[in-house]
Structure 1
Amino acid sequence: MATSAVPSDNLPTYKLVVVGDGGVGKSALTIQFFQKIFVPDYDPTIEDSYLKHTEIDGQWAILDVLDTAGQEEFSAMREQYMRTGDGFLIVFSVTDKASFEHVDRFHQLILRVKDRG
């Protein structure tokens, strides 16, 4: 399939918010997607945003990915992230059962925040 040149203006922007417990790999997944490298070291994130021109269903768009803090001390910021998100990626670690058990909590919070919006 031939790809067309990336248009530079008037592109729709979609915000994807990456959430999950601290230390589960949110930043590692995000960096792998954007930079094609794996970062094995854990460095707690407060907030990082990444932009990428990409094709979604055959249409060019800007994907704005927000890599959020998983630590509980930043939980007050979560609702603000969730209000502005168009899509969400809930991440857990296969080696941390509690992080998997918290997936439903994140899902319910997203539903509650988006329902109020």
Structure 2
Amino acid sequence: MAYKLVILGSCGVGKSALSVRLVDNCFETDQYPTVKDFYTEIVVDGKFCQLEILDTPGNEENPHRFRELLHWGDGFLCVYAVDDIKSFVDVNIFREQLLRVKNTDRIPFVLVANKADVDNCLVSPVLGQETARSHRVPFVETSAKTGQNVEHAFHEIVREIHRVRAEKLPDAEQNQGCGFKYCTIL
């Protein structure tokens, strides 16, 4: 199956570094705003998955382009850095924009706390977990530098896409009324 993933988050939280760690298994320290596509294949729960990952710059200077990206994505990793309180606050802004654009309250979304390897943690894991719980989404602590839980975060977003699609499937089947099964062509 193919999945279109969008990585959201403020500048400097490690969005590109997470993608590079997953795709190339290395750590990049590039601090420039990035808009880049990554492609990779992973196995999630025994199933082969093709990922197209769009890394956003975090400074969303072009609101029209940003809305297009939100429409385009199947699932969203929203990243904050544990050493940057503002990036944690910005998570709610990104989530609200996403909910508004998608016009639904159930979106495949994973909250990711990156830079778990740093000593100067300003956002506790408990705060991240509480926020994820309040939004009813998975929470994953990662470190792009060490590789900690990076693959797990991407596995979680694929699982979330499956969960949300399964929740919507019965509604779609009921609305068909003519006996046809709901089908999504990717």
- The verdict on a shared fold, with TM-score over 0.5 as the criterion, is yes
In structure 1, stretches of 5+ residues that fail to align are 1-11
Which structure 1 residue ranges, 4+ long, deviate > 6 Å from structure 2?
A: none
Q: Does 1:31 align with 2:20?
A: yes
Q: Deviations over 1:74-110 (max 9, x none)?
A: 3432111110111100011122111110101111111
* Aligned position for 2:80: 92
> Offset at 1:22?
1.2
* Aligned position for 2:167: none
Task: Check 1:51–1:104 CA distance in 2 against 1; reply closer, same or farther (3 A cut).
Answer: same
Give matches, 1:1-117, under 5 Å: 12-45=1-34, 47-115=35-103
Percent identity reads 39
Higher strand fraction: Structure 1 or Structure 2?
Answer: 1
Please, which moves more after superposition, 56-65 or 82-91?
56-65
1:102 is paired with a residue whose SS is: helix
- CA RMSD of superposed structures (Å): 1.5
Amino acid in the other structure paired with 1:43: Y
Number of aligned positions between the proteins: 104
Q: Deviations over 1:31-83 (max 9, x none)?
A: 111111111231221x2111112223322121111111111423432111110
Higher helix fraction: Structure 1 or Structure 2?
Answer: 2
In structure 2, stretches of 5+ residues that fail to align are 105-186
- Larger RCO: Structure 1 or Structure 2 (Cα < 8 Å, ≥ 6 residues apart)? 1
TM-score (norm 2): 0.52
Structure ID, larger Rg = 2
Whole-Å separation in 2 of the counterparts to 1:110 and 1:81? 10
* Aligned position for 1:3: none
Please, which moves more after superposition, 28-37 or 54-63?
54-63
2:81 is paired with a residue whose SS is: coil
